[in-house]
Structure 1
Amino acid sequence: MAPKYKLTYFNAKALAEPIRFLFAYGGLEFEDVRISTKDWPNHKSSFPYGKVPTLEVDGQIIDQSKAIGRYLAKKVGLMGKDDWEDLLIDSVVDTFNDFRLECAEYAYEPDPKIKAKKQEKLWKETIPFYMNKLDELAKENGGYLVCGKLTWADVYVAGMHETYILYSGQNFLEGRAHLKSVVDKVYAIPAIKAIIDKRPSNEEF
């Protein structure tokens, strides 16, 4: 009997979108529970660490989006062929997560003057530093980020990129054809394209 999966997150892409993509890629059925950010204070205390996303598997709840991603990647065949390839995949995922944190730090900065300074650093230093390196990886790996094949690193970056273009205020795929090809490949997978086409029109971010 197949496990019963329930994913809980905000009504948004961000951290949950790569997880949704992995479910779709593997043809795994799941309940996609979306909580409005306005209602979140009423729900926060009911989660183990007061955070989402969480994955419930047959009644057992776990959090941490990357841990959930690795778990599902194993289920759907998007890990490497050995420990070394798994390490390479995790390295790319963690690198993009480092970039994500810097984007979020800028996006949530409340002071306009400090935010302007952070934007300059983000646009002139952080984005070129990370995105040029990922673009080069995609070039070296034949249109994928690692191992010369589709892995969950590609799914992670593709699933996250829209939110962090929004957060950073810059389309960091422009001028980076190899990195863009990674995203395009993931988005062209029929099962993933289908879930993209069904996204709620009222997503918050």
Structure 2
Amino acid sequence: MAPIYKLKFFDYMGVAEPIRYLFAYGGIKYENIIIKKNVDWPRIQNTVPFGKLPVLEVDNKVLHQSTAICRYLGKLVGLLPSDDLVAAELDALVASTFDFGARVHQWYHEEDVSCKHQDEKELETVVFPRYLNEFEDIIHQKGGYLGGKQLTWADFYFVGILESVQGMWSKDFLQQYPYITQLFKNVHALPTIKSYIATRPNYKY
């Protein structure tokens, strides 16, 4: 009997979108439970590991941390390389993707106007070029995807997080990165992903 999956996250793309992509890709049924920050979260926060979302309930077990959840799903849908070294390289790239998204998320939620302006300048002149140039080179050198010439779970994580960043940044930052752009197009062109995108809720970012 197939496990019962329940994904809990806020009404955003964020670090949950790669998880939703992998469910869609694998045609795996799950319950997408939306947690309302001002209504549900105060009651739920102390019931999840380390007080953070997303969490994925797999029957009676609870997984936390988006990267670990995606790696688990990646194996389920056949997108985890069997070579341990290659798999570890993907883990590192996913961790760097998370770091990039978290840095933008920090800026987005900064309430001090002067600090936010300073952060934005640093993102635009240092952080974005550093991360995106490196990812562009990696995708180019490896043959179109983060793991080489074949799609892996890391590509879903990468695309999902960058979509969230696009929502927060509200500026076109991919135009000068043709290999990243092509990877986006390849992922979005997958029939299951195209179908998911056509019907997904209008998440804020």
- Residues 108-163 of structure 1, C-alpha deviations (whole Å, 9 max, x = no match): 21111111111111001100110011111111122212222101111101111121
2:23 aligns with 23
Match status 1:147 vs 2:148: yes
Question: Residue 51 of structure 2 aligns to a residue in which SS?
Answer: coil
Query: What residue number does 2:90 align with?
Result: 89
2:57 is paired with a residue whose SS is strand
1:103 corresponds to 2:91 = no
8 Å contact kept, 1:79–1:89: no
Q: What is the TM-score of this pair, normalised by structure 1? A: 0.94
158-167 vs 85-94, which deviates more? Answer: 158-167
Counterpart residue number, 1:10: 10
TM-score (norm 2): 0.94
1:177-203 alpha-carbon deviations (Å, 9 max, x no partner): 1001111111111111111111113x3
Q: Please give the alpha-carbon distance, in whole angstroms, between the structure 1 residues aligned to 2:137 and 2:163.
A: 20
Q: Which runs of 5+ in 2 are unaligned?
A: none
CA contact under 8 A between 1:141 and 1:149: conserved in structure 2?
no
**Residue pair 2:139, 2:148 contacting (<8 A) in 1 also:** no
Secondary structure in 2 matching 1:181:
helix
Distance 1:102 1:159 in 2: 15
Give the unaligned 5+ runs of structure 1.
none
Q: CA deviation at 1:79?
A: 1.1
2:177 aligned partner: 176
Would you say the 8 A contact 2:18–2:161 is kept in 1?
A: yes
The percent of aligned pairs where both chains have the same amino acid is 37
Output the amino acid matched with 1:38.
N
Distance 1:80 1:104 in 2: 30
AA aligned to 1:12 is Y
Report the more deviating stretch, 96-105 or 179-188.
96-105
Ranges of 4+ aligned residues in structure 1 off by more than 6 Å: none
CA distance in 1, matches of 2:75, 2:94: 15
**How many residues were matched structurally?**
204
Aligned-residue Cα RMSD (Å) equals 1.4
Counterparts of 2:97 and 2:141, CA distance in 1: 17
**Distance in 2 of aligned mates of 1:175 and 1:82:** 32
CA distance in 2, matches of 1:78, 1:173: 25
Cα distance per residue 1:43-64 (max 9 Å; x no partner): 2223232211110111221211
